[in-house]
Every structure is written in C-alpha cells, then in structure tokens.
Structure 1
Amino acid sequence: MIAIENVTKIYGEGKSAFRALDDVSVTIKDNEFFTLLGPSGCGKTTLLRTIAGFVDPSSGSIRLGGKDILQSPPYKRPVNTVFQNYALFPHMTVAQNIAFGLEMLGKPKREVKATVEEMLELVRMTPMADRQTGQISGGQQQRVALARALAPRPQVLLLDEPLSALDFKLRKDMQLELKRLQTETGITFVFVTHDQEEALTMSDRIAVMNAGKIRQIGGARDIYDQPAERFVADFIGDTNFLDVEVLEITGDAARVRLAGGAETTARGAAEAGTGMGAATLATRPEHARLVPVGQGVMEGLLSQVVYFGTDTHYHVTLSDGAAFTLRQQNTPDMAHAFTQGDRVGIHLAPGVGQLLKD
C-alpha cells in the first residue's frame, strides 16, 4: 500500500541543520495496522506528516498504491488523519461532524446520510448522533473523530497519538476498539505512538525509530523477544543488561561467563555479530526466577519488593554492584518466600538471554 524509499527531511542549513528523518525506507502492507514507535523527537510524527502531505521531504520518494504522491497536495491524497486533539467542530452535532467531509466532497445527500448512519453504527455512537460534541466524553469524541476520518473511505488512515489525552482505562478500551475498526474496515492504519504497550497491543507490525532512523521492524513478539540492538531492547519493556564474556560460539548460540563466574548459554550471537570476549547479555525480568543462595547463576541482595497488583517486581543488587529486576505474576496461592534484605540467587534458564550489539 505504501512504499517509502530513502526519505530524508532536513530542517535548517549548515551547522544548525537537523535531520528529522535520515534515509528512511519502509513498506507498509495493504490492510495492515502498522505502528511507528519511538521516543519524542525520533522522527515518527514527521514521517507520518510526509505521508499526509503536511511536510515535504528533502529527498526520497513515497508511493501509495503504486503512485507517486509527493507532488499531490494533502487534500488530493487518498489518506485521512486523526490528530491528537481530534479537531471536532463544537457548533455541530456528532452526525454533522461525520457528514462534514462527505459534504465537502460533494457527495449526494442520500449517500451522506447512509454513510453517516453506517459510521455511527461502526463506532457505536448511534444514540449520540444529535448531541453536540461538547456534550460527550473524551472517549466518545475520539470515536467521532475516527468516524469522520473513516467516512470518505480513505485507502490509508493516519493516527497521530490519538489516545494520549485519554485516561488509563479508557485508553485500554480504545486500543481494542481501534484494532476492531481496522479489522472491520480493511483500511490500512498507520499509527504513531511513544507508548510501547499501545504498539504491542494493536499492531500487525511495528517500526521502532530513534534519531530519525528505523532501528527494527517486526511483529510485536519479534520486537519484544528478539530485539535487534540495545536501544530496541531498552525501549521496549523492561530489560536487564549484563556484562558477560563470550567463551564459545556455535551458530547463533554462545556459551558465556557472567561477572560472578557462573556460565550459561545465550542466543543471538550470529545476529549481533558477537565475537569472543566482552559482550552484553539482555534478559527480560519475567524470564528470571528467584532461588535460594547457591542455586542460581548469580547472587545478590534483595533491595526492594514492589507490589503491582497483577505482578510483583523484585529489585536485586548483584554481588558486583549491578542492578537486576525480576518480575513474577501474582496468583492467589503464590508463596512469598523472599523478603526485602534477603540474600538471594537468580536462576536463568539456558538460552533465555540474548546477546546484543550496542
């Protein structure tokens, strides 16, 4: 659906020039929920705005459905955008807001009425059709903005952090709602967010961005379980980084020695391009387990126990001074065998950790 090739956007000139996008290339499939994820200033919104036509790239090309769209103004591109602030018309009703774009396109009144009714049902807002937008909640305003953007049936819907203004519970509900809308309409969604949970929950594929570049593209499980580099592992979820020594490499697996002297196996040696000697091992908190001293590959002091309702986080200060976090899901029959101040061991199953390139 969208082919972005070697797109660069530079603001300013000379020493003050800033590369918001740095030679970005990505292909987004038809009927895909594709997410641009990264920290503030990474270039994700700039990339979205180049697709919409609000920003002209300094170089590169963008094709939509096989056609070059860079010379087309925003109103002639088969895309619609849902912004963070929704931009609804306060003097219009919900139905009038949804109808506005169709009327500007000169659609017949009968078609406009039928489409508005269809969109109201799609976003489950039919009972609110005659309400003013100032009389409905933030979540309902979000639905109206989506319905208005979907009404002209664009080939691509661009969403620029549309959930950031919602409270936690409503944001969770709308994550599921957005995925349902994308599945039911079959429209390609390109979603921008800095929220890792949003990206993992909704996306078919995720592009992790940093400093104007795409660092990794993949499905949610690939991005989380097999990060391509340290930045991705650190940005997506919680990660422990351990200094290790690589002793032996066999294909993608490696035998490594931890700081305390214990040995284990790790994966990702081939992809990371790791050689013998010093390396970084990444492990997720939920992939480690607390055990009595002498039964793990590492030991340390249990410095803090934090209860989160669904799970408990255990913060351990290792013998070499490094910090390590473990996460255990809470169950009604869970026995709390360790308390703050205990000396503990940490068990890592062979192959659970991944070697990373910096």
Structure 2
Amino acid sequence: MAIEDAIEARSARKVYGSGPKEVVALDDVSIAIRKGEFFTLLGPSGCGKTTLLRMIAGFETPTAGQILLNGRDITEEPPNRRPVNTVFQSYALFPHLTVRENVGFGLVMRGRPSAEVTQTVDRALSLVRLEEMADRKPQQLSGGQQQRVALARALAPSPEVLLLDEPLSALDLKLRKEMQSELKRLQLELGITFIFVTHDQEEALTMSDRIAVMSAGRLLQVGSPREIYNHPVNRFVADFIGETNFLPGEVRGGVAKIAGGVAIPVDAAAPEGRHTLAVRPEHVRIVPAGPDALLTATVGEAVYFGTDSHVHLRLADGAGLVARYQAEAAGGDAPPVGTEVGVTFAPGAVQVLED
C-alpha cells in the first residue's frame, strides 16, 4: 500500500443471509483512496456504495476481505476506535440541545476538558460559518444550516477521514448546490480525506477529485470526473454519467461502421468486433444535409433548457439521436420540426464501449 493512501479495501465482500435468500451486497471490491482527496462512491440505490462506506466506518464487518486505514488493518476494530466520522442523510441533531451543545456533544462524551471543548466547537462553527447561530436550537434553523451543524459535529474531533452518506439529498436544488460548494471548500481548507456517497452524477462530477462508479455490488470504473465522463468503460457507466447516444457498430482498424455502412473514425486501440458506440449530445453537430455530413436525419422536437436546447433527431434507419444545440453559438434557433439535416461528430468524440 502506497503511503499516500488513506483508505484501502482489499477484496471486500459482504453477503447477507444464506442459501436461496443470500444477497451479495458487495462483491470482491478492491479500491485505494488517497490521503486528502475528495473521493465519491457513485451508483444507483442498492449498488453497494453505502455498504462499503459502513465497512470503512466500522458499522459493518466484511464477510471476506480487509479494510485498511493508513496501511493498518482495521477490519475488526469497532467504530469508536477508528479516527473516522460520518455525516448521515438524516442529520440526527438533538432537538433539546443548542447548536453549540450539539457540535460539542461527542467531545464531552469523550471526556475532553471544558476549555478544549469550547475552543474546538468555536473553530468548527467558524469553519461552517455558523458562529452567530451557536445558541439556537435545531428547529430554529433551515435545512442547510442543520446540515452545517451536522458537518461541524463530525469535524470537531478532527477525524482523519470524513464519510458522507448522501448528506445533501434532503435539500432543495438551490441549497444543494450551495452545500456542494461548501463541502468542497471545507475539504480543501482542512486537507482531510472526504469519502462521499451519492446517486447524483452531477454532484459527483462537480465535487470529486476521483469517482468510483458501482453497480450490483461491483466496482466498474475509477477515475477523475473528466476520465469517467469522456472515457466510460462500458454502457452502464456511459448511461449513468450524463446523457449519451448509443449506436451499434462494427469496429475494424480504428474505424466503426454503423447502419448504412457509414464509417466513423474511432480510437485506433479500440477493440475490434461488434460493439456499442457512445457519443455525448454536445458532440453531435447539426449541419446542412449534403456531402459534408456523415449522416442524414430528420428533426423532431427541441427541448429548451435555457442555455441550450436538446434537439431530437431521427436517423434514416429509425434510430434516435440527441444533439445539444446552442442557438447563440450556432447563430440561430434550432431547425424546425421535420427539417432534413446533416449530422457530424466532434473529432475523437465517438467512444467504443466494452460489452
């Protein structure tokens, strides 16, 4: 294990039940999370991301495999002996205690001196910008403020790793975006390892240093947001991260042939044979029909999103394709419904996916 790794899971497996009722929640997952990074476990409900988080916290014991912290095996250690804290989806604040008392509760229970508790709580409230709310009760705070209290409480004992289990899911869109920025600011300021669980791909892309995409208890791909978005390894990852067009194609020698025999350049190292091709809507270009176009399509509806429109196209073979169309950049509104247009793709944009 490299010295820069904070957390490592080695062949971690978790099985509930036995026989016909056996459920594999985590299936042979190995992953290394670096010190000081914002790492996100991303996937749909039931994919195993929260199970892995709970193993790191000590709330679940692996059926097989190991969990290491800074190179030390902590698989069998109880939660209270791990320098790890968790922020849950439910804030779980004590309604009868003030903000200050909630934040300091864990320190008091650990028997820390009063002066140390006061100093630590003041610093934690300053980090989350809630100094003026210190004497209020949780019910007097907004959802975003309650979330900040939960963060301050988790940060007060100075954990080496902070685990965040979908902590923003209960907030409305505007508050959620504000808290995304707040979490990233805190992580950069403190320099500790954040492990964040979410099913929201936008949260993962905007906040993370690296992302692990999971499905059905397995780890599918680990990489930076740019790597995951631009170079998904398979159809599940491509479909789960952002919007994607899929086309079947026959790949030979760096060229993919799709319906009608149209040849599209792809990565020369792409595996040969019949594969699914993926291209993001922003890489689909609408051009005049003619010899400069790769494909011919008919314009369907255009869905307006403010900054751009998603234009739904129908190819000659009946397949659908979505193009992201920016009127200002294109010099006018999207073509009317029923118009025949040409389609090209941005250079290098068509990805060949593994089966």
In the superposition, the TM-score normalised over structure 1's length comes to: 0.95
Within the candidate set 252, 276, 281, 1:285 is matched to: 281
Deviation, 1:231, is 1.1
Deviation, 1:308, is 0.5
Q: Would you say 1:240 and 2:237 are equivalent positions?
A: no
Q: Would you say 1:197 and 2:202 are equivalent positions?
A: yes
Aligned to 1:83: 88
User: Is the contact between residue 9 and residue 31 of structure 2 (CA under 8 Å) also seen in structure 1?
Assistant: yes
Aligned to 1:44: 49
Q: Give 5+ residue unaligned stretches, structure 1.
A: none
User: Is the contact between residue 275 and residue 352 of structure 2 (CA under 8 Å) also seen in structure 1?
Assistant: yes
Comparing 341-350 with 117-126, greater Cα deviation is found at 341-350
1:112-127 matched pairs, under 5 angstroms: 112-127=117-132
1:146-165 matched pairs, under 5 angstroms: 146-165=151-170
SS at match of 1:99: helix
CA distance in structure 2 between the partners assigned to 1:205 and 1:333 by the alignment? 34
User: Is the contact between residue 264 and residue 350 of structure 1 (CA under 8 Å) also seen in structure 2?
Assistant: no
Q: Would you say 1:70 and 2:87 are equivalent positions?
A: no
1:315-334 matched pairs, under 5 angstroms: 315-331=312-328, 334=331
**Which amino acid in structure 1 is aligned with residue 57 of structure 2?**
A
Q: Would you say 1:108 and 2:113 are equivalent positions?
A: yes
Comparing 347-356 with 34-43, greater Cα deviation is found at 347-356
Q: Deviations over 1:232-291 (max 9, x none)?
A: 1111001111112223x2xxxx11222133222012x63x5x22x422211010011111
**Which amino acid in structure 1 is aligned with residue 227 of structure 2?**
D
Deviation, 1:329, is 3.4
Within the candidate set 350, 355, 358, 2:352 is matched to: 355
Q: Would you say 1:14 and 2:19 are equivalent positions?
A: yes
**Which amino acid in structure 2 is aligned with residue 356 of structure 1?**
L
Aligned to 1:310: 307
**Count of residue pairs the alignment pairs up:** 349
CA distance in structure 1 between the partners assigned to 2:47 and 2:141 by the alignment? 34
Q: Give 5+ residue unaligned stretches, structure 2.
A: 1-5
SS at match of 2:266: strand
Report the aligned-residue RMSD: 1.4
Deviation, 1:342, is 1.3
SS at match of 1:278: strand
In the superposition, the TM-score normalised over structure 2's length comes to: 0.95
Comparing 290-299 with 21-30, greater Cα deviation is found at 290-299
Q: Would you say 1:339 and 2:336 are equivalent positions?
A: yes
**Which amino acid in structure 2 is aligned with residue 289 of structure 1?**
R
CA distance in structure 2 between the partners assigned to 1:27 and 1:207 by the alignment? 10
User: Is the contact between residue 264 and residue 351 of structure 1 (CA under 8 Å) also seen in structure 2?
Assistant: no
Indicate how the Cα distance of structure 1 residues 43 and 298 shifts in structure 2: closer, same or farther if over 3 A, else same. Answer: same
Aligned to 2:3: none
Aligned to 1:206: 211
SS at match of 2:260: coil
Aligned to 1:132: 137
Indicate how the Cα distance of structure 1 residues 215 and 333 shifts in structure 2: closer, same or farther if over 3 A, else same. Answer: closer
CA distance in structure 2 between the partners assigned to 1:13 and 1:347 by the alignment? 53
Q: Deviations over 1:294-348 (max 9, x none)?
A: 2321122211100001211001111111111111235388411511221221111
SS at match of 1:88: coil
Indicate how the Cα distance of structure 1 residues 337 and 85 shifts in structure 2: closer, same or farther if over 3 A, else same. Answer: closer
**Which amino acid in structure 2 is aligned with residue 42 of structure 1?**
C
**Which amino acid in structure 1 is aligned with residue 344 of structure 2?**
H
CA distance in structure 1 between the partners assigned to 2:274 and 2:29 by the alignment? 32
User: Is the contact between residue 175 and residue 202 of structure 1 (CA under 8 Å) also seen in structure 2?
Assistant: yes
